[in-house]
Amino acid sequence: MTRDELMKTLHDYTPWELLHRNRRQDAQNMEPVNQSLEVPVTDAEKNTGLHLPQIPDLDNNTFSSDIFFCHAPGQHYMIVQHDRYTPGTMHRHDFFELQVCIEGEFMQQINSKRLQMHSGDICLIPPMVSHLVDIQNYTILVNLLIPEKHFKNICLSQLHGDNVLSKVFMGNVYYNSVNDYVIFHTNGNPSIMDIVLSICQESLEKKPYYIYMMDTELLLFLGVLLRNYESTCELPQIHRKQDGINYGILQYIEENYQHISLQELADKFHYTPQHMSSLLKELTGFNFSRYILEKRMQAAQDYLLNTTLKIKDISIVCGYQNQEHFIRTFRKYYGTTPIDYRNQHRTSIS
């Protein structure tokens, strides 16, 4: 697929969009609106390009990532194109949404605030924030849907530090200070838009190793965004000193979970082990031992699915000097041995 072919795909209307655009035109002309009978629902709702089939209506308009990610098995995040001319509905979801306006302009509402979005604007909306997107024109808007777990990995492992993404993540996941949104005004920076279009191509073409390419391009996208626009974006601030300390604790664990002890962690931040254990329980919902186990098992899963490392090597990089201990722990956690887990998921790797 060439870049011109990609842009044509993004510009083309789906049957579902055409249905709603025709309804809109008929309503303006004061003509009876009965177009829905002319386009079968199965055709109008089929997956076209980066558009998803229509998401089912929920009573509380709160959507789980399971509804979306069933269409992208194996991917760590998704990129989807927002439907045009369809009626906007206030909703929220349990993942991070990174909106990229490739061209055009549209109106959206985040909680009670209405915002006019323009070409080149990039808006990050955290989980469980109510918002509505209303596109009644040709605008091309793509959304990167990033599960909380993957966003956490990005903030604490790969782009860690005192940056706006980490502040948003910490504020919305670990503290009770929810930030509604963060907007980066890029004015259509060609470098950033080129990365986003590359992600679109990888998602559409699904060539070998496309998942790895998408992960790499997402990190590059976020890195360029922070480098060039962090100082000018509308960003939340960590107001309490303790918030910064809590972030430091979680980041330190992320970097040292393979070998750290509770005593070492407490000494590092000048707490007693008892206080540190209570604080960690408050922040994560786990005691120290369980939280370290979660980190090690998540890392083991990642190495098994995304590398060809031997089991004994994976056990070492995850903090287990004894391979048998690692295998027993892994089996208790996942219900199967590491080698069986890798074999069972070999299809999703390829």
CATH number at residue 322: 1.10.10.60
Instruction: Identify the CATH number of the domain in which residue 73 sits.
Output: 2.60.120.280
pLDDT for 227-274, tens place per residue?
Answer: 999 888 876 554 454 566 777 788 788 888 999 999 999 999 999 999
Residue 244's H or E segment, with its range, is helix 241-256
Q: How many CA atoms lie within 13 A of 77 on its CB side?
A: 28
Q: What is the pLDDT of residue 191?
A: 93
- Residue in the structure block whose two tokens are 């972030």: 247
Do residues 21 and 134 share a domain? yes
Task: Please report whether residue 183 resides in a domain.
Answer: yes
The domain total for the chain is 2
Concatenating the DSSP letter of every residue in 210-231 gives HHHHHHHHHHHHHHHHHHHHGG
Residue from 177, 272, 186 nearest 229 by CA: 186
Task: Please report whether residue 89 resides in a domain.
Answer: yes
Task: Please report whether residue 168 resides in a domain.
Answer: yes
Q: Residue 177: which residues within 8 A CB-CB, separation 6 or more?
A: 171, 236, 239, 243
Do residues 24 and 100 share a domain? yes
Task: Please report whether residue 248 resides in a domain.
Answer: no
Range of the domain at 106: 3-232
Q: What is the largest CA-CA distance in the chain?
A: 75
All residue ranges of the chain with pLDDT < 70 are 24-48, 54-59, 160-161, 169-179, 235-244, 346-350
Q: What is the pLDDT of residue 23?
A: 72
Do residues 283 and 171 share a domain? no
Task: Please report whether residue 240 resides in a domain.
Answer: no
> Taking the model in full, what pTM does it have?
0.68
Q: Residue 110: which residues within 8 A CB-CB, separation 6 or more?
A: 125, 129, 130, 131, 180, 181
Q: What angle do CA 186, 188, 190 make, to 5 degrees?
A: 110
- Residue in the structure block whose two tokens are 């664990």: 253
Do residues 169 and 292 share a domain? no
Task: Please report whether residue 195 resides in a domain.
Answer: yes
